[in-house]
């Protein structure tokens, strides 16, 4: 007979939270998940030009990851990276280039005036990319990456004009950290529209752009990409859950405020986003080989 200590029910409850590790506080548990010492962080560079080349490679991978998820829609959509050498400028995809084919050497660099000052052979700039992303990069100096595309489920959910509900563990990553921009004036070709989006985004990491699509941002390319993928899936789940619950005359079960806040600390912070993107970037780098660099 196994000793009592080996049973599944013999676990200590610390501050109301069941734990496999007796004596570990609630905050320590969160730290293990969100900021674990074994989680690899972003590489640190002393040479800003080396950092630029590395991050351009990561941005190229990000476009290929988005393409694999089906986030491309014709020529719409863009991901921008603040340049490590000249932070007043950013790198973006050239207008019209297929995302699965994008290489680091194809990316173009845009200055604060909207002029292409560096980059690959195709130097066409999507004006909407500049108007939206420039405003956010200016308003949020701590943010290095911004992503926007017309993904299917995000676009569908954004027609409803309402916030995402906290109904799953994954959606807790966006609890009190997701803006709702309720204005739609067509393709964003004016600076004031980009500024308005940046203002509504505020200090949050993501936004629902009504009748338009999703937008995410992060200190790292990896976190920004993961937040977009996760938000798209949360929108998909919300649409399915609402349909299933509504068909039975019920409502979805919401996660209460205390549990949502607790879970956000574990899954909604920058380092959690960076680490959560690792499988997607590892897999895409494996598939692409060195093709995404040159």
Residue 31 is predicted with a pLDDT of 56
Mean pLDDT of the region 240-252: 95
Q: Is the pLDDT of residue 19 over 90?
A: no
Q: Is the pLDDT of residue 186 over 70?
A: yes
Tens of pLDDT along 265-285?
999 999 999 999 999 999 999
The domain defined by 48-288 folds into L-fuculose-1-phosphate Aldolase (3.40.225)
Q: Is the pLDDT of residue 103 over 50?
A: yes
For tokens 């950290």, the residue is 177
Q: In what order do the strands lie in the sheet with 178-181?
A: 116-119, 108-110, 90-92, 78-82, 145-149, 213-218, 206-209, 178-181
Q: Is the pLDDT of residue 102 over 90?
A: yes
Residue 78 is predicted with a pLDDT of 98
Q: Give the separation between CA 100 and CA 107, rounded to whole angstroms.
A: 13
Q: Is the pLDDT of residue 242 over 70?
A: yes
Which band of pLDDT confidence, cut at 50, 70 and 90, is reported for residue 35?
A: low
Q: Give the separation between CA 165 and CA 34, rounded to whole angstroms.
A: 22
Q: Give the separation between CA 175 and CA 182, rounded to whole angstroms.
A: 18
Mean pLDDT of the region 17-29: 47
Other C-beta atoms lying within 10 Å of the C-beta of residue 145: 27
Please list, in sequence order, all residues whose beta carbon lies within 8 angstroms of the beta carbon of residue 115, skipping any fewer than 6 positions away: none
Which band of pLDDT confidence, cut at 50, 70 and 90, is reported for residue 29?
A: low
Residue 92 DSSP code: E
The pair of three-digit structure tokens given for residue 197, joined into one six-digit string: 């989006």
Q: Give the separation between CA 107 and CA 121, rounded to whole angstroms.
A: 9
Please give the angle made by the CA atoms of 16, 21 and 26, to the nearest 5 degrees.
Answer: 40
Q: Report CA torsion sign: 160, 166, 167, 168.
A: positive
Domain boundaries, the chain: 4-34, 48-288
Distance of CA 254 to the CA centre of its chain: 23
Q: Give the separation between CA 101 and CA 235, rounded to whole angstroms.
A: 28
φ/ψ (deg, to 5) at 178: -140, 120
Q: Give the separation between CA 258 and CA 287, rounded to whole angstroms.
A: 41
Q: Give the separation between CA 286 and CA 281, rounded to whole angstroms.
A: 8
Residue 32 is predicted with a pLDDT of 53
Which band of pLDDT confidence, cut at 50, 70 and 90, is reported for residue 24?
A: very low
Please list, in sequence order, all residues whose beta carbon lies within 8 angstroms of the beta carbon of residue 198, skipping any fewer than 6 positions away: 135, 136, 138, 139, 140
């Amino acid at each position: 007979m196994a000793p009592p200590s080996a049973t599944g029910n013999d676990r200590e409850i610390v501050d109301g939270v069941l734990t496999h590790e007796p004596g570990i506080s609630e905050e320590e548990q969160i730290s293990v998940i969100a900021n674990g010492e074994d989680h690899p962080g972003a590489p640190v560079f002393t040479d800003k030009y080396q950092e630029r080349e590395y991050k351009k490679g990561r941005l190229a991978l990000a476009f290929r990851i988005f393409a694999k998820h089906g986030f491309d829609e014709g020529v719409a959509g863009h991901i921008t990276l603040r340049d490590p050498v000249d932070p007043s400028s950013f790198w973006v995809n050239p207008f019209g280039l297929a995302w699965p084919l994008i290489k680091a050497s194809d990316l173009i660099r845009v200055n604060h005036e909207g002029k292409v000052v560096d980059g690959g052979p195709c130097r066409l700039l999507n004006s909407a990319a500049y108007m939206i992303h420039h405003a956010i990069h200016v308003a949020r100096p701590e943010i290095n990456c911004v992503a926007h595309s017309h993904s299917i489920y995000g676009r569908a959910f954004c027609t409803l004009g309402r916030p995402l509900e906290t109904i799953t563990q994954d959606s807790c990553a966006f609890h009190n950290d997701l803006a709702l921009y309720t204005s739609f004036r067509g393709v964003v070709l004016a600076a004031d529209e980009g500024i308005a989006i940046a203002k509504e985004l505020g200090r949050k990491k993501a936004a629902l752009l009504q009748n338009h699509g999703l937008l995410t941002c992060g200190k790292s390319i990896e976190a920004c990409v993961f937040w977009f993928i996760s938000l798209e899936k949360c929108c998909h789940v919300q649409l399915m859950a609402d349909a299933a619950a509504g068909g039975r005359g019920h409502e979805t079960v919401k996660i209460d405020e205390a549990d949502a806040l607790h879970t956000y600390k574990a899954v909604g912070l920058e380092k959690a986003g960076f680490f959560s993107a690792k499988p997607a970037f590892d897999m895409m780098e494996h598939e692409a080989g060195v093709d995404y660099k040159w």
